[in-house]
Chain A
Amino acid sequence: MEKANNFLVGIYDDEDVLLDAVGKVRKSGVKIYECYTPFPVHGLDDAMGYNYSNLPIVGFLCGMTGTICALVMMIGMMGFDWPMDIGGRPYIPLPDFIPITFELTVLLCAFGMTISFFIVSNLNPWSTPRMFDPRSVDHKFVMAIDLAGNKQDAASITSILKNSGATEVNKKSFE
């Protein structure tokens, strides 16, 4: 998908005003590119029409991989590759394997899910983000509208944003 370049940016002072505004703006037929907030706003993902993330499912699958890896490792090593008589214990003592199985489940779940999160959200230390307003990570709530993706012109979108409670509406372009 080609990256959009010309935006109108609505700045809001309060997260509840932003939440209402998202509803109003979407109702008037304007497509919102994205909202940017300094902290997670409850209800914003529903208002924006986002589905709940699948990352917990990824976490579960990675965790199950951890469980399987741990059990295969220990049963393989102690049961088949080099079984040893340690104090008369069975070659495959499952209760003894519980702690390590649990730990590897947690380890792979946590790392697998978090690394997937970094990949799908494009979080990495070598890129710089497109910031629509530097105050969006401080104390302002920002709504970005892509001009190219909307039928209405800049003037009518500006008035829709202002009516929904935006304290400022700025133009922002990226190369």
Chain B
Amino acid sequence: MHVTSSVRPPLVTGGKKYEDVTQDICKQVEGAPSMAWKIAFTFSVIIFIYGGYCLWTTWYEGIGMWGLNKTIGWSWDITNFVWWVGIGHAGTLISAVLLLFRQKWRTSINRAAEAMTIFAVICAATFIIAHMGRPWLGYWVLPLPNAFGSLWVNFNSALMWDVFAISTYFSVSLLFWYVGLIPDFATIRERATGIRRVIYGALSFNWDGSAKTWSRYEAVSLVLAGVATPLVLSVHTIVSMDFATSVIPGWHTTIFPPYFVAGAIFSGFAMVLSLMLVTRVLYNLEDYITIEHIESMNKIILTTGSIVGIAYLTEFFMAWYSGVYYEAFAFQNRAFGPYWWAYASMMTCNVITPQLFWFRKIRRSLVWTFILSIIVNIGMWFERFVIICTSLHRDFIPSSWAMFSPTMYDVGDFLFTFGLFFTCFLLFAKYFPVINMAEVKAIMKSSSEKKQ
């Protein structure tokens, strides 16, 4: 009873049957790694090792290895942290929010996007730990009973809220991702022999596909999606409050929570696109990640990019309307001060480039989408840099104005996270099924191209 819609294009092309879905996706897991994978993996491990050396030096010698000073106490460290956390928002949005909105196109991309989220949050956590003066005392952020009185943490602080928010986000994303992987590990288990069968057997948690278990699985997925949705929104809201709850001009505005959440979804989808455009070609998954999927993601980038643009306008308006001299100066300084080039990059990349997605030809072009997705991510990095660095470098008292330049350790620690991210992602792409086979099979009756 295959139903082909007359108005919606199919989400799975190529006249696939259920066994084709299994075969196409499992063959990547079961086969030997391709030359492209080996080259990419070698490259990312080299970056990981070099970055690891820089991170070790930062840890061993101290934060003085960075270019920070008294005026600019946060720069690349927190910029990179917020950048990675922002990128990590797309995965849970695709898994949870699009499930609640019944968007069937999420099924081909949700697993890879959720994996991206988990690795991105790990990279973000690297900076949090690295930027502590004494990372070996990092556990002091937790409200554990201790011998100092007990001395408790300050629950009023947005930085404390961050500890709970990021930990919860990481754990719940990992859980949601893993629960979805269980049925697919069972599929791989039944096709495997020897040690692979034992390993995938353990990973598959005894799954047999019984109707009762599926019924419970669906109920659990719906509730997980239901709690993960406000979680996604709350996490970047709380990250934005690291700035919004301060008094620094350029930071202390109530537009930050919705602005940061929209920006996070914006950069997250751009990263998902960058990764998926490469993966679909190398793994021959064009029938599963179709132009319709790419276009849907581009529409979300357009929407959230426009919200970010509106947030910029709101900031300007409030800088003038508030009558607060320091706020107005902060924005003048951003545009015309010594960091004007960062501001110009941010504006071009974040405001102008997503507007190109109004044009259908660009939305549906793989080359344009790839280029624009990289540009968006660069723009979002500059946005965080502009917010953090330019607001700090010239705040209330001119005698404390200073400049910041990154040292090789600022750059090296950032490279470490790229090495970590791509190493993890490549391992995921090799050993785990990159597409949720069970979910794709479930939409085939209604949304796939019938075999001719």
Chain A positions near chain B (C-beta within 8 angstroms): 14-16, 34-41, 44-45, 48, 50, 52-53, 55-56, 59, 63, 73-74, 77-78, 81-82, 84, 86-87, 89, 93, 96-97, 99-100, 102-104, 106-107, 109-111, 113-114, 117-118, 120-131, 134-139
Contacts and interface: CB of A to CB of B under 8 A. Distances in A.
B155 A111 contact: no
Contact of A117 (B190, B220, B442): B220
Interface string B155-167: 1100011001101
Given A40-B215, A96-B155, A129-B208, A137 B223 contact: no
A72 to B, nearest CB: 12
B187 A36 contact: no
B435 interface: no
A97 B153 CA distance: 13
B17 interface: yes
B164 A113 contact: no
Nearest to B162: A99
B205 to A, nearest CB: 4
A136 B3 CA distance: 23
Contacts of A89: 156
Those 3 A-B pairs whose CB atoms lie nearest each other, nearest first: A139-B18, A129-B208, A99-B161
A131 B208 contact: yes
Interface in B179-233: 179, 182-183, 186-187, 189-191, 201-203, 205-220, 222-224, 227-228, 230-231
A93 B156 contact: yes
Given A44-B211, A102-B230, A128-B201, A138 B19 contact: yes
Given A41-B211, A107-B168, A137-B190, A123 B205 contact: yes
B171 A107 contact: yes
A136 B208 contact: yes
A56 B219 contact: yes
Contact of A40 (B160, B164, B207, B442): B442
Contacts of A96: 155-156
Contacts of A97: 155
Nearest to B183: A137
B400 to A, nearest CB: 22
B143 A38 contact: no
B114 to A, nearest CB: 14
Contacts of B445: 15-16
Contact of B207 (A55, A86, A137): A137
Nearest to A14: B1
A106 B201 contact: no
A122 B206 contact: yes
B152 interface: yes
B143 A99 contact: no
B151 interface: yes
B215 A50 contact: yes
Nearest to A95: B156
A56 B208 CA distance: 22
A138 B18 contact: yes
B208 A36 contact: yes
Given A36-B210, A104-B168, A110-B224, A55 B216 contact: yes
Given A103-B168, A106-B172, A111-B171, 8 more contacts: A34-B212, A38-B438, A50-B215, A55-B223, A103-B165, A114-B179, A137-B186, A139-B22
Given A77-B155, A103-B234, A39 B438 contact: yes
Contacts of B155: 74, 77-78, 96-97, 100
Nearest to A134: B190
A156 B372 CA distance: 64
Interface in B219-268: 219-220, 222-224, 227-228, 230-231, 234, 238, 241
B441 interface: yes
Contacts of B452: none
Question: Which residue among B161, B190, B206, B224 has the maximum number of chain A CB atoms within 10 Å of its CB?
Answer: B206
Contacts of B172: 106-107, 110
Nearest to B20: A139
A81 B150 contact: yes
A106 B227 contact: yes
A40 B168 contact: no
B209 A114 contact: no
Nearest to B21: A139
A53 B439 CA distance: 20
A136 B208 CA distance: 8
B310 interface: no
Contacts of B161: 99-100, 103
Interface string B369-409: 00000000000000000000000000000000000000000
A38 B216 contact: no
B86 to A, nearest CB: 18
Question: Which residue among B176, B201, B439 has the maximum number of chain A CB atoms within 10 Å of its CB?
Answer: B201
Contacts of B220: 53, 55, 59, 113-114, 117
B151 A82 contact: yes
Contact of B209 (A14, A93, A137): A137
A37 B438 CA distance: 10
Interface string B430-452: 00000001110110010000000
Contact of B208 (A55, A84, A102, A130): A130
B149 interface: yes
A128 to B, nearest CB: 6
B175 interface: yes
Contacts of B231: 103, 106
30 contacts: A16-B445, A37-B211, A37-B214, A38-B18, A38-B209, A40-B217, A53-B220, A56-B219, A59-B223, A78-B152, A82-B152, A99-B165, A99-B238, A103-B167, A103-B168, A110-B172, A110-B175, A110-B227, A117-B220, A121-B212, A121-B216, A121-B217, A123-B207, A129-B206, A130-B208, A131-B190, A134-B190, A137-B189, A137-B190, A138-B18
